[in-house]
Amino acid sequence: MREASYATKELLVQMNNSSDPTEIRDLLSRITASEIDESVAVFTPLYINYGKHTRIGKNVFINYDCVFLDLGGITIEDNVLLAPKVSLLSEAHPISPEERHSLVPKPIHIKRNAWIGANATILQGVTIGENSVVAAGSVVSKDVPDNTIVGGTPAKIIKTI
């Protein structure tokens, strides 16, 4: 895994030093081993530890300084907005000190039209519902229903849309 992560890092260095949207998408396609649609916009830098377990839909906007830890899998559906400094963390460590050096991967799924606010963190195993909004600075540890606004640490339902 470390060798694969270093290969990803090499591509990330190129991507994060580019200002050409087409080149950024092409490099992200290589990192994710999937085609990134021309409607996707990525404002670099973007940090990904592996990449091959990330899927990005159409018309997705990824703002500056986002972090994807994708060993558990990350799916971002169409029309999703990620504000600056969003972290999608699909992996964690066990609580037990004896097991802490291992990883527990669980997928993250962000459904259509969701908006994740600045500096929000989505933890492993979480699904963000269609049309939902995660308030800036939130830490989301549980699924968010469709058409819902959540916020806080841990994130709680604020209202429905």
Give me the active site residues, please.
Answer: 93
Backbone angles phi, psi at 81, to 5 degrees: -115, 125
- DSSP letters along the chain, please? -HHHHHHHHHHHHHHHT---HHHHHHHHHHHHTSPPPTT-EE-S-EEES--TTEEE-SS-EE-TTEEEE-TT-EEE-TT-EE-TT-EEE-EE--SSTTTTTS-EE--EEE-TT-EE-TT-EEETT-EEPTT-EE-TT-EE-S-B-TTEEEETTTTEEEEE-
- Rounded-to-integer distance, Cα 30 and Cα 80, Å: 21
